[in-house]
Amino acid sequence: MKKIGVLGLQGAVEEHIRAVEACGAEGVVVKKKEQLDEIDGLILPGGESTAMRRLIDRYGFMAELKQFAESKPVFGTCAGLILLAKRIEGQEDAHIGAMDITVARNSFGRQRESFEETIRVNGIAEDFPAVFIRAPHIVSVSDHVEVLAECRGRIVAVRQGNLLGCSFHPELTDDLRMTEYFLSMARIPV
Pick from 155, 94, 105: which is nearest to 130 by CA? 155
Tell me: is residue 48 an annotated ligand-binding position.
yes
Q: Is 58 annotated as a binding residue?
A: no
The response to whether 64 counts as a known ligand-binding position is no
Q: Which residue of the set 23, 78, 151, 166 is catalytic?
A: 78
List 15, 23, 171, 180, catalytic entry: 171
Does 49 belong to an annotated binding site?
Answer: yes
Instruction: Determine if residue 92 is labeled as part of a ligand binding site.
Output: no
Closest CA to 137 of 123, 117, 157: 157
Active site residue 171: yes
With H, G, I as helix, E, B as strand and everything else as coil, classify residue 63.
Answer: helix
Query: What span, in angstroms and rounded, lies between the C-alpha atoms of 137 and 154?
Result: 6
Q: Is 169 marked active-site? A: yes
Q: Would the annotation count 38 as a binding residue? A: no
Instruction: Please identify which of the residues 137, 151, 169, 180 carries the catalytic annotation.
Output: 169
DSSP string, 136-166: -EEEEE-TT-EEEEEETTEEEEEEETTEEEE
- Which residues define the annotated binding site for L-glutamine? 47-49, 105, 133-134
Active site (catalytic) residues: 78, 169, 171
- Which residues define the annotated binding site? 47-49, 105, 133-134
